[in-house]
Chains A and B, each alone.
Chain A
Amino acid sequence: MLRFLFKGVFRDRHRYLFPLIIVATGVFIILFFQAFLRGYMGSFIRQTSGFETGHLKVVTRAYADLISQKPFDLGFLGVQEDLENWKQAHPQLDWAQRIHFGALLDVPDANGETREQGEIAGFAIDMFGSAEERQRMGLEKGLVSGKIPEQPGEILLSDQALKRLKLRLGDPVTLIGSDVYGSLSMAGFTVSGSVSFGVEALDRGAVIADISDIRAMLNMPGGASEILAFLKDGEYDSARVVAIRDSFNQRFSQAGDEFSPLMLTMGEQNELGLLISMMESVFGIMSFIFIFILGIVLWNAGLMNGIRRYGEFGVRLAVGESKRHLYATLILEAVIIGVVGSLIGVLLGVAGLWYFNIHGLDVSVFARTTTLMTEDIVYTELRLADALASLVPGVLATLLGAALAGRAIFSRQTSQLFKELET
C-alpha cells in the first residue's frame, strides 16, 4: 500500500514538486536558524559567563543590590578562607576571583605631567596563576601586540584605547581611582600588550591587570568584588546551576549580614534569565510559526491539488472506495511528502551549515550596535537532535495542510458522482 502510494506520488510531478520545495525550504530555514541561534547563544553564554557572569557568581548581599553598578567597594575583603570552604563544598565548580573597577588612565609626559587621560573599565583577574582565566578572557586569542603580563605592574590595554591615548608598548601609565574606602588611589603600571576582544563594549577602553596589583591599588587585601564559578564540564545547565545556588545560599548566606555571600545564577544577573529562556524557547516558537504558515500554504496547495484530482477522487468514490479510505490515502501521501521533503531540507541544511560550522558567520557589523557580548564570528552549532527535531514540523505542516484540504472529500455526494463525471 505504502509502496503503491509512494509510486503514485512521485510519478506525478504536480503532486510532489511544490509541496516538496515548500517543506524542504521550510525545514532548511528552521534548521539553519536553530543551528545559528544555538551557535549565537553558545557564543553569548561563553563570552558573557567568561567575561562577566560566570555560570554562577558569588557576591556580597550589599553588592547584589547594586550589581549593575559593580560597586567593588561593597565586595569581599579577606575572602580567601571562605573561598576554600566553598571550594570544598562544591567540588564540581571552578572558581575565579575578579575585581571590576572604573578608573582614569593617565599618561604622563617626560616631566610627569598629564599628557593624555581617558576613562577605562578595569578587569582584575588571576593573570599569573590561572591559565583558565586568561583563556576565559580570551587574552591569548585577542592579543594584538606585545605580550601577556608576566610580572606585577604590567597591564594589558584594549587596542583601541592604546591607539586613542597614543601609547606605545612599555609606556608607563597611572591608574587613578578610588579605593575600597573611597580614598583617591593611584597606581603605576607598564603597558605590556594590547588586546581586542571583539566585543565593542570592552574594546572601547578596557584594562586587564593582575588581581594582586589591583588589590593593592584599591586597598582590598585578600579581596574580590565578584567570585565567579564555572561548571567544570564547561556547559551551562540551568537546572544544575539553580540546584547549586540553592544549596550554597542555604549553607553560607545570612540574610541579616550585608557582607554575607550570596550566590546568583547567570540568569539572575542583568536580567539575562529572560534572554536565556527566550533563546531556549526560540526553537518551539519558530516550529509553531513554521507549522502554522506552511500548513496554510500546503492547505492551499492541497486544495489546488484536490481540484486537479477532482475527477480521480470522483472515480475512486464511484467504484466504491470509502471517503475515509480516500482521506487516509491523502494523509499518507502527505506524510510521504513531508518525510521526503524534510529529509531533503535536513540534508540541504546540514550541507549549508557545515560551511558555517567550519568558517563561521561574521556578525561583527551587528556586534558593534549591540550591548550583548558575542564573538565577532559566530559558528553554527549543529546537533543530530536538532536535525531530527526539525523533521517534526516539516511532517506536521504537510499533515495539517492535507488534513484541512482533504475535508472536501467528505462533501462529495455519491449520488451526484456520475453526473459530475459526465460534465
Chain B
Amino acid sequence: MNKILLAILILAALPLWAADPDPASILKAVDANLTFSSSYSVTRMVINGRRSSRTVESVNYAQGEDKFFTEYTAPPRDKGTKMLKLGDKLWIYDPGTDRSVQISGNMLKQSVMGSDLSYEDFMEASKLQDDYSASLEGSASYDGRDCWVLLLTAKKTGLAYSSARIQVDKARNVILHEQLFAKSGKLLKTIRFGNVKKVGGRWYPHFVNFKDELKSGKGTEYYVDEIRFDLSIPAATFTKAMLKK
C-alpha cells in the first residue's frame, strides 16, 4: 500500500520537476535577447535629482560587447559630450575643453551624467552566463507577468556586483526586475524594466528605472525612443578620432 502511495506521489511530482528548467538555460535565453552584432538607439534619461529632474538625450551605437559610442544631444550644457568604450577602456570627450579623458580607477564608480548609473555599470556588457552562475529560487509574478526568480552569483572577481536576484519573464525571456548586491549582501541597486516590445525578432525593454539604493530619490528613468539591431555601423565610429569630430 505504502509503495503504491509513494509511486503515486513520485508520478505526481514529476511534472513539477519537468516544469523547472535549467537556470543556466534561462540565462542563455535572456542573453540571446540582449545579444546582437550591432545596435543603434536614441534614448532619453530622466534623472530625478534632489533639486530637480532633468532629461539627458543621446544617440548610441554599439558593436558586440566591446564597442560602444554615445553622443549626448541634450540638454545644451551636455550637448556634444561623447563617450567611447573600447574593451575595458572608457573615454569621455568634453567639447568645452576639447579634451578626451580616459575614465579609470575610482572615477568608474562615479555617476554617469548625475544618474543612478555608474560608469562601471556602463562598462559591464558581457553576457550574464559568462559572469554569473544561476540558481532557480522559484516563480513569482511581477507587473502582471509570470516570472522565474533566479539568484546569480559572480563566477569571477572584479565584477561591480557579487550577486544579483533577477525576475525573468517566463514567456519572453526578458528580465523585468533586478536587484544588485555587494559582497556583504547589501542591496546596492534595483532595476525595473518595462514597456517590453518586440524589435527585430527579440523582446526588448524600452523603459528602465535604475535606483541607486544608497541615494535618496526616485532613481533614473531610461527611455529607449528608437532602437535598431544588427545594422552596419562604420568602423570609424568606434575610434578615438570620432570623439573630436
Q: Chain A: residues with CB nearer than 8 A to chain B? A: 62, 73-74, 77, 104, 106, 108, 112, 114, 174, 176, 178-188, 219, 258-259
Contacts and interface: CB of A to CB of B under 8 A. Distances in A.
A189 B62 CA distance: 34
A100 to B, nearest CB: 18
A182 B113 contact: yes
Contacts of A114: 101-102
Contact of B96 (A108, A181, A186): A186
22 contacts: A74-B50, A106-B101, A108-B99, A112-B98, A112-B99, A174-B101, A176-B107, A179-B114, A182-B49, A182-B113, A182-B114, A182-B115, A183-B113, A184-B94, A184-B113, A186-B96, A186-B97, A186-B99, A186-B101, A187-B97, A188-B97, A259-B51
Binding site secondary structure of chain B: loop
Interface of B: 47, 49-51, 54, 56, 77-78, 81, 92, 94, 96-102, 107, 110-115
Of B54, B94, B102, B112, which is in contact with the most chain A CB atoms at under 10 Å from its CB? B94
Contacts of B92: 184
Nearest to B72: A183
Contacts of A178: 110-111, 114
Nearest to B49: A181
B119 to A, nearest CB: 9
A356 B88 CA distance: 59
Given A178-B111, A258-B50, 13 more contacts: A73-B50, A74-B50, A181-B47, A181-B49, A181-B54, A182-B47, A182-B113, A182-B115, A183-B77, A183-B114, A184-B81, A186-B97, A219-B77
Contact of A62 (B50, B107, B113, B114): B50
Contact of B99 (A106, A180, A259): A106
A98 to B, nearest CB: 20
Contacts of A180: 51
A415 B54 CA distance: 102
A326 B99 CA distance: 91
A256 to B, nearest CB: 15
A112 B77 CA distance: 22
Contact of B114 (A74, A106, A181): A181
Contacts of B110: 178, 184
A77 B50 CA distance: 13
Shortest beta-carbon contacts, A-B, top 6 = A182-B114, A186-B94, A181-B114, A188-B97, A183-B113, A186-B97
A180 B92 CA distance: 18
Contacts of B107: 104, 176
Nearest to A180: B51
Contacts of A181: 47, 49, 51, 54, 114
Contacts of B56: 183
B99 A182 contact: no
B114 A174 contact: no
A73 B215 CA distance: 13
Contacts of B81: 184
B96 A187 contact: yes
Contacts of B100: 112
B202 to A, nearest CB: 32
A179 B100 CA distance: 17
A203 to B, nearest CB: 22
Contacts of A182: 47, 49, 111, 113-115
A114 B99 CA distance: 9
Among B49, B77, B98, B114, chain A packs the most CB atoms within 10 A around the CB of B114
A180 B77 CA distance: 12
B53 to A, nearest CB: 10
A186 B77 CA distance: 12
Nearest to A104: B107
Contacts of B115: 182
Among A104, A178, A181, which residue has the most Cβ atoms of chain B within 10 A? A181
Contacts of B112: 184
B80 to A, nearest CB: 12
Nearest to B111: A182
B189 to A, nearest CB: 15
Nearest to B102: A114
Nearest to B77: A219
A250 B228 CA distance: 59
Contact of A174 (B77, B99, B111): B99
Contacts of B96: 186-188
B29 to A, nearest CB: 35
A185 B72 CA distance: 13
Which of B51, B81, B98, B101 neighbours the largest number of chain A CB atoms within 10 Å of its CB? B101
Contacts of A187: 96-97
A65 to B, nearest CB: 11
A77 B49 CA distance: 14
B242 to A, nearest CB: 15
Contacts of A179: 114
